C-alpha cells in the first residue's frame, strides 16, 4: 500500500476518534475506515442486524494503534541520522519529522474521543478496562514519538 494512503487512513481514523462524544459508538465502513455511530432510536437493532458489537470497537482501536506504532517505528528507523546525532532523532531538516508531529497531534485528540467512548460504555467494566488500556498505549506512543523527533 502507498505511504500516502496509509497515512491518510491513520489520519482519517484518528480524526473520527477525535470527534467522538459520549453516546457515540464505532463501526468500520466498506472502505475500512472508522465511522461514528451516533445514538438513534433503533441503534441497538441496527448494530445487531449488521453484527457490530462493542468488542469490535476494541479490536479496531487495538489494530489502529498497533499499525500506527509499527509504521511510525519503521519510518523512524529509515530516517534517523546515526552519523550526526548521538540521540538518534530524526533531523529537523527531514520532512518526515512533520509526519511525526501530525500523528502526535492527532493521537492526542483521539485520546479525548476514546475517553468519551469510555463514558458511553461506563456500565461495562470490562469494556472500560480495555479502553483504558488503549488510552494508555496511545499515550505511550505519543511519549515515544516525542523522543524520536
DSSP state letters, 73-141: HHHHHHH--TTT-TT----TTSTHHHHHHHHHHHHHHHHHHHHHHHHHTTT-HHHHHHHHHHHHHHHHH
Helix then strand count (H, E) for the chain reads 5, 2
> Residue 149 — pLDDT band, cuts 50, 70, 90?
confident
- pLDDT bracket for residue 42 (50, 70, 90): low
CB atoms within 10 A of CB 78: 9
- Predicted TM-score of the model (pTM): 0.84
Residue range 11-30, pLDDT digits in tens: 999 999 999 899 887 766 67
127: pLDDT strictly greater than 60:
yes
Q: What is the mean pLDDT of the chain?
A: 85
User: What pLDDT score was predicted for residue 80?
Assistant: 77
Structure confidence at residue 35 as a pLDDT band (50, 70, 90): low
Amino acid at each position: 500500500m502507498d505511504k500516502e494512503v496509509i497515512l491518510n487512513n491513520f489520519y482519517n481514523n484518528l480524526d473520527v476518534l477525535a470527534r467522538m462524544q459520549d453516546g457515540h459508538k464505532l463501526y468500520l465502513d466498506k472502505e475500512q475506515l472508522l465511522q461514528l455511530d451516533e445514538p438513534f432510536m433503533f441503534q441497538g437493532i441496527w448494530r445487531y442486524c449488521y453484527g457490530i458489537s462493542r468488542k469490535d470497537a476494541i479490536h479496531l482501536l487495538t489494530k489502529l494503534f498497533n499499525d500506527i506504532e509499527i509504521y511510525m517505528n519503521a519510518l523512524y528507523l529509515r530516517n534517523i541520522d546515526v552519523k550526526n546525532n548521538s540521540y538518534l532523532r530524526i533531523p529537523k531538516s527531514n520532512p518526515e519529522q512533520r509526519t511525526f508531529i501530525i500523528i502526535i497531534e492527532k493521537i492526542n485528540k483521539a485520546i479525548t474521543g476514546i475517553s468519551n467512548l469510555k463514558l458511553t460504555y461506563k456500565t461495562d467494566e470490562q469494556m472500560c478496562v480495555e479502553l483504558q488500556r488503549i488510552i494508555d498505549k496511545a499515550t505511550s506512543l505519543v511519549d515515544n514519538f516525542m523522543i524520536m523527533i
